[in-house]
Amino acid sequence: MESAIRKIIEHIGEDPNREGLVRTPHRVAEAYKYLTKGYSVDIDSLINGAVFSEKYDEMVIVRDIDFYSLCEHHMLPFYGKCHIAYLPNGKVMGLSKLPRIVETFSRRLQIQERLTNEIAECLMKHLNPLGVAVVMEATHLCMVIRGVEKQNAFATTSSMLGAFRSDRSTRMEFLNLIQLPRLNR
């Protein structure tokens, strides 16, 4: 990877031997390894048995999960918030696993639409809930710093499965709850 980055530096007209650029190929390679670390995570190992039998039957929501990803079209960052809900069907998941799932799928080359679906489908598979809802809101640097250059544009995607797709009142409850004011911390 370092030699490829060195070639990119040369192709844009810079000298990769210039003092400030000598270690850049190494730093960029390390950054990309970190930004794409989701490829090396096994979801089953990540969940690690943190699914528990529980008679809780109301909506579980974790919202405002920060995420960072790389657009697969330009390899530029996109980032924002993810909101997740599920309706338990005799099983609940350790709450910290939800942000970890978001982190795993977001740390890959992505498009926001696929990322949203992957998170929802993962929860359906591992929890077998009555339904899953995922809403993601993101700023895409490929739209902000190049191309259309719209600094205030952001994208919202959703994946509604099970009861969240088939029952309008369930879907609306979730959408209303993620709009509530945040706690003062």
Q: Determine which one of 2, 74, 121, 173 is catalytic.
A: 74
Q: Determine which one of 10, 26, 54, 73 is catalytic.
A: 73
Q: How far is CA 44 from CA 81, 93, 101, 120, 150, in A?
A: 24, 13, 10, 15, 39
Would you call 26 a catalytic residue per the annotation?
A: no
Residue 123: HSE in the Cβ half-sphere, 13 Å Cα cutoff: 34
What lies within 8 Å, CB to CB, of 36 at 6+ separation is 70, 107, 108, 109
Which residues are known binding-site members for Zn(2+)? Answer: 71, 74, 142
Q: Determine which one of 112, 118, 126, 137 is catalytic.
A: 112
Would you call 74 a catalytic residue per the annotation?
A: yes
Would you call 179 a catalytic residue per the annotation?
A: no
Would you call 112 a catalytic residue per the annotation?
A: yes
Give yes or no for a contact between 80 and 34, defined as CB atoms under 8 angstroms apart: no
Q: Determine which one of 10, 30, 54, 72 is catalytic.
A: 72
Distance of CA 51 to the CA centre of its chain: 21
What lies within 8 Å, CB to CB, of 126 at 6+ separation is 43, 47, 51, 93
Q: Determine which one of 71, 83, 122, 137 is catalytic.
A: 71
Would you call 82 a catalytic residue per the annotation?
A: no
Closest CA to 59 of 130, 117, 161: 130
Residues with a known catalytic role: 71-74, 112, 140, 142
